[in-house]
């Protein structure tokens, strides 16, 4: 058994609460994921997960093991990245496209830190919320939040989970009240992101319960930061991403709404042309971003530490 690989698989199962979802994330069958976790449990002589037909949850031993396991996996990934790229001088243009909200909130800083050791590298970052074809527009790398095309012309690597959250300002909730069920959103002012693939139909799950609510948007925009600013002003309840809302949630500028319900989970993904091997600079950037955002991105770690 490759214990490090088994630890990586366990972290994904614990994060996604599903053997099948972890398998899809890692490109493995459900049976292989289950086998790896069982072998890890045998090695540790401890049961890490409760299994049932409905869900997977952590045992007390699994909960205690998860944090040091995550740290070990992250350190190993970073060590591999450093070794892979040691002595490699990256140079020339590197053309990247990303959504404007993620590009400004997170990617710009990460890209600057990635570039510092490589003074001959000249990144070109295009922040644009349009779903641009990276091949047609000449990008070396495109970052997407969901909306991943089913195309043999593109290869994909997952960078991080992208959790959706509903939130509103304390002033709005004081005036209009806290909705207790998804259906009550039909009586609220909702701030809608126009790039959602199902339009103003918001989908909710809680355990085995599922509800779809068709909201009537009080305000619509194609940019998450615009919607967040409107929500902070008290305009309504915003359908947001945790990577954008995290700081406002931590300082109380925004408050979670319907926090016991889950919205569909997307992923931040890196896309690049499948017709050729990625260049060393593209591979290096992808590896850098994976090390930054896995197994749990910094915004989720901050929210998790605050119980949000």
pLDDT bracket for residue 275 (50, 70, 90): low
Mean pLDDT of the 143-171 span: 83
DSSP-based three-state secondary structure for 155: strand
Q: Could you give the CA distance from residue 15 to residue 10 in angstroms, rounded to a whole number?
A: 8
Higher pLDDT pick, 101 / 130: 101
- E strand map for 244-285: 255-256, 266-273
Given a cut of 90, whether residue 266 has pLDDT beyond it is: no
Given a cut of 70, whether residue 34 has pLDDT beyond it is: yes
Domain with CATH 3.40.190.10 in the chain: 91-158+268-305, 164-256
Mean pLDDT of the 194-213 span: 89
CATH 1.10.287.110 fits 3-84, yes or no: no
Q: Could you give the CA distance from residue 189 to residue 238 in angstroms, rounded to a whole number?
A: 9
Q: Could you give the CA distance from residue 176 to residue 148 in angstroms, rounded to a whole number?
A: 36
pLDDT bracket for residue 85 (50, 70, 90): low
pLDDT at position 87, please? 54
Enter the pTM of the model: 0.68
Mean pLDDT of the 37-61 span: 87
pLDDT bracket for residue 294 (50, 70, 90): confident
Mean pLDDT of the 56-68 span: 88
Which sign does the torsion angle of CA 20, 22, 25, 29 carry?
negative
The pairing of strands 164-168 and 255-256 is antiparallel
Given a cut of 80, whether residue 244 has pLDDT beyond it is: yes
Among 292, 265, 27, 56, residue whose Cα is nearest residue 161: 265
pLDDT bracket for residue 190 (50, 70, 90): very high
Q: Could you give the CA distance from residue 167 to residue 67 in angstroms, rounded to a whole number?
A: 28
pLDDT at position 203, please? 93
The CATH H-level superfamily of 164-256 is Periplasmic binding protein-like II (3.40.190.10)
DSSP-based three-state secondary structure for 273: strand
pLDDT at position 279, please? 83
Highest mean pLDDT among 79-93, 120-134, 147-161, 237-251: 237-251
Domain with CATH 1.10.10.10 in the chain: 3-84
Which sign does the torsion angle of CA 277, 278, 284, 286 carry?
negative
Lowest average pLDDT, out of 8-17, 34-43, 252-261, 270-279, goes to 270-279
Higher pLDDT pick, 26 / 270: 270
For residue 93, cis peptide bond before it (omega within 30 degrees of 0):
no
* Residue 294 burial by Cβ neighbours in a 10 Å radius (0-12, 13-18, 19+): buried
pLDDT at position 217, please? 93
Q: Could you give the CA distance from residue 192 to residue 286 in angstroms, rounded to a whole number?
A: 31
pLDDT at position 162, please? 87
pLDDT bracket for residue 152 (50, 70, 90): low
pLDDT at position 150, please? 62
pLDDT at position 78, please? 62
pLDDT at position 242, please? 94
CATH (residue range 91-158+268-305): 3.40.190.10
pLDDT at position 54, please? 72
* Helix locations, 151-241, DSSP H: 170-176, 224-232
Mean pLDDT of the 207-211 span: 90
Higher pLDDT pick, 195 / 35: 35
């Amino acid at each position: 058994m490759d214990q490090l690989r088994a630890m990586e698989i366990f972290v994904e199962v614990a994060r996604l609460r599903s053997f099948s979802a972890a398998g899809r994330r890692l490109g493995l069958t459900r049976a292989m994921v289950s086998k790896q976790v069982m072998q890890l449990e045998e090695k540790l002589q401890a049961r890490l997960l409760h299994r049932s037909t409905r869900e997977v949850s952590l045992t007390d031993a699994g909960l205690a093991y998860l944090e040091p396991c995550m740290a070990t996996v992250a350190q190993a990934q970073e060590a591999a990245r450093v070794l892979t790229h040691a002595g490699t001088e990256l140079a020339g243009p590197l053309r990247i496209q990303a959504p404007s909200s993620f590009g400004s909130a997170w990617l710009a800083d990460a890209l600057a830190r990635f570039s510092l050791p490589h003074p001959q590298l000249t990144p070109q970052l295009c922040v644009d919320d349009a779903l641009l074809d990276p091949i047609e527009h000449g990008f070396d790398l495109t970052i997407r939040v969901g909306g991943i095309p089913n195309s043999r012309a593109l290869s994909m690597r997952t960078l991080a989970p992208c959790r959706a959250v509903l939130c509103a300002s304390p002033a709005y909730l004081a005036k209009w009240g806290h909705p207790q069920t998804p259906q009550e959103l039909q009586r609220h002012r909702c701030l809608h992101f126009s790039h959602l693939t199902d339009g103003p139909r918001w989908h909710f799950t809680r355990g085995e319960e599922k509800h779809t609510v068709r909201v009537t948007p009080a305000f619509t925009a194609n940019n998450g930061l615009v919607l967040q600013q409107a929500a902070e002003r008290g305009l309504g309840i915003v359908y947001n991403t945790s990577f954008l809302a995290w700081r406002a949630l931590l300082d109380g500028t925004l408050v979670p709404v319907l926090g016991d319900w889950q919205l569909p989970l997307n992923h931040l993904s890196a896309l690049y042309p499948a017709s050729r091997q990625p260049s060393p600079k593209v591979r290096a950037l992808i590896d850098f971003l994976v090390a930054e955002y896995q197994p749990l991105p910094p915004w989720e770690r901050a929210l998790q530490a605050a119980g949000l």
